Structures are given as C-alpha cells and as structure tokens.
Amino acid sequence: QIQLVQSGPELKKPGESVKISCKASGYTFTDYAMHWVKQAPGKGLKWMGWINTYTGKPTYADDFKGRFVFSLEASASTANLQISNLKNEDTATYFCARFPDYWGQGVMVTVSS
C-alpha cells in the first residue's frame, strides 16, 4: 500500500537549521511530484511548494523562498525539507503529500529559545 512516512519531531533554537524527511513506498517515487504543506498550531493548511521527483527541480511558493530547500534522495525514495535560520514563526507541523491523495503523518517542528 502507498505510504509516506516522515521523520520524528524536532525541537530547535532560533537560528538553527532542521532537515525533515519523507520516505515514500508502494509506488514509483519518480512518477509523482512531492508537495510540502505547513500547518501552524491551531491554524489552517498552507502550500509551500513542490519538487519534481524525476528532475529534482524544486518550486517554492513566495512565502517559502530563501530559507527553505526541497531536496531528494531518489535512490531511497525520500524527499527532504530543510529550513535554515529558524524563526519562532516556523513552529508548525510540516506535511509531505503526493497530491491530491496521500499525505505523510506530519512532523512537528518547535522553535524555542
């Protein structure tokens, strides 16, 4: 069955970096783009962008240009999201998703001094 399994929760300080992963199984990884979605605590869903899993080319929504990097380990069917220079407002759950149908379980990233 199709699954997207994400890495575990992260606690970071402002200014640090974090890298979260999303391992896909049950389908051909390079056949579908991988999208990333942010959900701040108690808030709605915000699309961050996507990565072409065949070419590796990322596309970022405007609010996520600069400190956010999408990458792949295609041989491991894994997509990664790295956030640098973390800010308090990056505290959120981050989902990977094979739109429109399959989502990862989400990774809670907490940024606190």
Contact 4, 96 (CB under 8 A): yes
CA gap 99, 5 in Å, rounded: 15
Q: Tell me: does residue 62 bind another protein (CB under 8 A).
A: yes
Closest CB 51 distance from another protein, rounded Å: 14
Among 9, 26, 99, 112, binds another protein (CB under 8 A): 99
Q: Tell me: does residue 66 bind another protein (CB under 8 A).
A: no
Among 72, 77, 104, 109, binds another protein (CB under 8 A): 104
Q: Tell me: does residue 36 bind another protein (CB under 8 A).
A: no
Which bin fits 89, alpha (ψ -120 to 50), beta or left (φ > 0)? alpha
Closest CB 10 distance from another protein, rounded Å: 17
Which bin fits 26, alpha (ψ -120 to 50), beta or left (φ > 0)? left
Closest CB 45 distance from another protein, rounded Å: 4
Task: Provide the 8-state DSSP code for 105.
Answer: -
